[in-house]
A and B are shown apart, each in its own frame.
Chain A
Amino acid sequence: MSEQKTVHFIIERQDGPDSKPYTEEFLVPYRPALNVVAALMEIQKKPVTKDGKKTTPVVWECNCLEKVCGACMMVINGKARQACATLVDQIPQPIRLAPARTFPVIRDLQIDRSVMFESLKRIRGWIDVDGSWEVNTAPIQNPYTAATAYEIAHCMTCGCCLEACPNVGPQSDFIGPAPTVQAYLFNLNPLGSFNKDKRLNALMEKGGITSCGNSQNCVQVCPKNIKLTTYLAQLNRDVNKQALKNIFNK
């Protein structure tokens, strides 16, 4: 083995929601296929900064480490990403980590995304089944429509798209691309479509789809490659039709 290679991290830390941010730097032993979460785990084992100062382990959120749970979103070298799926080999060093400040910071890299789950309530993000007991067999579905639904259903509520969207943040009430597009998912479903107009009307409210300014950052950063802007445009179409219905069908 040659001399130990290390990876240089500059981490923006913050002790609590109202504390002042500060940065700390760490050197983590290099390993092939090292990802950002694995590096943070190394820091847990040895919470000592680059200058040899003992500190507290960095706080962040993760579960699956496979890019499906959505938990580990943070800002890595300026962009919102899933930390578990970011290999240190593939990005320039030093690697800068920061919390996604579109959301309230809890501590260090951990943020509070509860607003996203609240938005899912607002768009009525469920199918209204009578119950979990046996009722009917479910309707047959067009396999192509189902494939589209499958794509949207991958959304893991990570919030990358909200962090990148210039229109989401403390300055605005926009619910953001992810929850908006979820409305389309439920509208696509044969049973879900029964409540289509309710969801579209919800999207017409303040902070709904009209707040999208078409910067298309969301579609660029979505780690699940969901064609967000396509569905936003489709929803725009649907919402406009709904507006006409609201005016003329009453």
Chain B
Amino acid sequence: MSKKNIIVVGGGLSGLMATIKICEAGGEVKLFSYCPVKRSHSLCAQGGINACMNTKGQNDTTWEHFDDTVYGGDFLADQTAVKGMCEAAPKLIKMFDRMGVPFTRTAEGVLDLRNFGGQKNKRTVFAGSTTGQQLLYALDEQVRKWEVKGNVKKYEFWEFIRIIKNDNGICRGIVAQNMNSMEIEAFRADAVILATGGPGVIFGRCTASTICNGSAVSAVYQQGAEIGNSEFIQIHPTAIPGSDKNRLMSEACRGEGGRVWTYKDGKPWYFLEEMYPAYGNLVPRDIASRAIYDVCVNQKLGINGENRVYLDLSHIPAEYLERKLGGILEMYSEFVGDDPRKVPMQIYPSVHYSMGGIWVDTKHNTNIPALLASGECDYQYHGANRLGANSLLSAAYSGTISGPEAIRWSESDDIGEELTDEQLAAAKQTCVDEFENIINMNGKENAHELHHELGDLMNRYCTIVRVNKELDLCMDELKKILVRWNDIGVNDKGHWANQEAMFVRQLHNMIIYAMVICKAARMRDESRGAHYKPEFPNRDDEHFLKTTIASYNAETHEPNITYREYDHSLIKPRPRRYDVAKGGK
């Protein structure tokens, strides 16, 4: 086998960036993805990508970007890593520009910048309202070039199932399944990079794509990888609730004068304006989410008793709306069927992003040798809360680190023996048996219904407000769901494009991951960033200025939670004050 043979799982921004770096270093990549990589979730990102370009006469500095990120993350992010990312950001943007990303430009033809939440300076580079799509396409095109050159072999419509370790516990391959032919195959590699994105689908409906199920992360976690800070889940206050997914409604709506209200005693109640007279509808994201939650869940004042409130633009002149928010309103009309220029929109907070993920060091190594992780599936860069437009950056940047690091592994002697044919065959057989067992399940439960219940449970207890008693309850319920999983009945017994059977396997992984989120939230008795406990309303640096580490206990299926020190030496933690409006998306 030729040297420098790397497996990359995931073709989002991060996986593609890593792939390019590996090819440039002369490596060969097997690239696995659920979908053609050009359809990866990264393309949902609308707002933009942060980088200190300093072209607006504001004397913006990378240090300030660094500071904003650390502060926004409530000081829970590894500062060496964040600093590296902020310093590299402008270079990455120039690279994307050369690759042909059609960024929005100023009259002079240079890249335009916009304001974004949590940052004083204009620092967000954007391509209209589809930045993620454009960035992903640029990398997709470069990878296609490498594919033509023969350095990349794509395995699209393949699902990653598990990693394979050699006798020394070093990750030297994976097992994956072709989603059409259902054939399961084991692959050798020098090193493996996971770039499988976020776990939003564990919450049932979220703003992410249907493939963001965290299943791959859960699989390697069950094989010994540690998960960091999993309790930090970002909730976006204004999303359009849907039975299929919650669609993000940009915060620009509030910025342009949108008012949030619901009926109380038969009259419109502008509760944000009443609760926070100083900031009104422009309170920061987490505060808005909590207020809407309080009104709907505790006071039961949601529209028609459902969990939704109005976001009202109908008082603003249609012509002004068209100019400022055209595309966004289009999307609402398209997916809801109502015209937001005439009737108030109905919104509710939604799970949006996971700050937590596989624990990695600053080089994106997991605790399993030769297994790396980058992108939203890792825990790095965002601490307790992510700034808008920072995750496209972290996804791309982390790929520029994980790729070369994988090459380093492939050139070092530390990777030990490659997998023997017997090891490959054994790993494959485990997965084949597991899959056949799933196909033969004949119980009473429908997997999709069970997933729905899982989502409801997680949404109820593990999102905006967390209460220890309820988290205990949630954990018990999750255990019950895990037991009920065994009683699933699979309707589709075929061996061709059997989406149902694959979903059953993913669901198992999702339940296990859900337990990690729940337990980690239960253990962190403080409020920090996206994690809010009314019982412990303050940040507790004395006890919790630490990374939460979850490792799998195969007996109980529950995580063992420990805490790990990290580097916060560069900027001293200071209080993150919520009475300073952060605005932005």
Contact = CB atoms under 8 A, between A and B. Distances in A.
Contacts of A69: 35, 39-41, 43-44, 209
A61 interface: yes
A85 B335 contact: yes
Contact of B331 (A45, A62, A66): A66
B141 interface: yes
A67 interface: yes
Interface stretch (A127-135, A210-218, A229-237, A241-249): A127-135
Given A37-B244, A65-B244, A90 B137 contact: no
Given A35-B335, A41-B448, A126-B144, A132 B400 contact: yes
B193 to A, nearest CB: 16
B498 to A, nearest CB: 8
Interface stretch (B96-104, B261-269, B381-389, B548-556): B96-104
B452 interface: yes
A143 B335 contact: no
B130 A16 contact: no
Nearest to B17: A132
B39 A67 contact: no
Contacts of A33: 242, 335-337
B364 interface: no
A70 B491 contact: no
A208 interface: no
B2 interface: no
B168 interface: no
Interface string B436-477: 000000000010110010000000000000000000000000
Interface in A155-188: 156-157, 185-186
B463 to A, nearest CB: 20
A38 interface: yes
The residue in A64, A120, A136, A191 that gathers the most chain B C-beta atoms within 10 A of its C-beta is A64
B342 to A, nearest CB: 16
B496 A31 contact: no
Nearest to A157: B38
Given A65-B210, A131-B24, A56 B494 contact: yes
A147 B112 CA distance: 13
A45 B449 contact: yes
B405 to A, nearest CB: 15
Contacts of A149: 100, 102
A32 B103 contact: no
Nearest to B497: A107
Contact of B337 (A37, A90, A113, A154): A90
Interface in B168-195: 180
A132 B335 contact: no
Given A64-B41, A117-B36, A126 B497 contact: no
Contacts of A87: 335, 337
A238 interface: no
Interface in B541-572: none
Contacts of B1: none
B500 interface: yes
A31 to B, nearest CB: 6
Contacts of B148: 121
A136 B243 CA distance: 48
Given A67-B334, A132-B95, A45 B496 contact: no
B497 A85 contact: no
Interface string B195-212: 000000000000001110
A127 B145 CA distance: 9
Chain A interface residue count: which class? 35 or more
Contact of A70 (B39, B41, B127, B331): B39
Contacts of A90: 337
B585 interface: no
A141 B105 contact: yes
Nearest to A151: B102
Interface centre among A15, A132, A153, A157 (most CB of B within 10 A): A132
B250 interface: no
Given A56-B494, A63-B41, A64-B43, A129 B242 contact: no
Contacts of B156: 114
Nearest to A142: B109
Contact of B494 (A15, A127, A140): A15
A154 B130 contact: yes
Contacts of A209: none
A41 B242 CA distance: 12
Contacts of B162: none
B209 A63 contact: yes
Contacts of B242: 33, 38, 65
A46 B39 CA distance: 28
A191 B98 contact: yes
B266 to A, nearest CB: 22
Given A64-B209, A68-B44, A138-B97, A57 B491 contact: yes
Interface string B327-341: 000010011110000
B110 interface: yes
B255 interface: no
Contacts of A132: 17, 20-21, 24, 95, 142, 400
A41 B109 contact: no
Given A38-B244, A64-B43, A150-B127, A125 B109 contact: no
A87 B245 CA distance: 14
B98 A135 contact: yes
B497 A106 contact: yes
Given A57-B492, A68-B130, 10 more contacts: A47-B491, A55-B491, A64-B210, A69-B40, A71-B39, A87-B335, A127-B141, A129-B95, A146-B104, A146-B109
Interface of A: 15-16, 31-35, 37-38, 41-42, 44-47, 54-57, 59, 61-71, 84-85, 87, 89-90, 106-107, 110, 113-114, 117, 120-121, 125-129, 131-138, 140-143, 146-147, 149-150, 153-154, 156-157, 185-186, 189, 191-192
Interface of B: 17, 20-21, 24, 34-36, 38-41, 43-44, 91, 94-95, 97-100, 102-110, 127-128, 130, 133-134, 137-138, 141-142, 144-145, 147-148, 156, 180, 209-211, 242-245, 247, 331, 334-337, 400, 446, 448-449, 452, 491-492, 494, 496-497, 499-500
15 contacts: A47-B491, A56-B492, A63-B35, A63-B211, A66-B331, A69-B40, A89-B337, A106-B180, A106-B497, A121-B144, A125-B144, A153-B102, A153-B133, A156-B43, A157-B38
Closest 8 pairs between A and B when the two form their complex, measured CB to CB: A138-B97, A126-B141, A38-B244, A107-B497, A140-B109, A150-B102, A56-B492, A143-B105
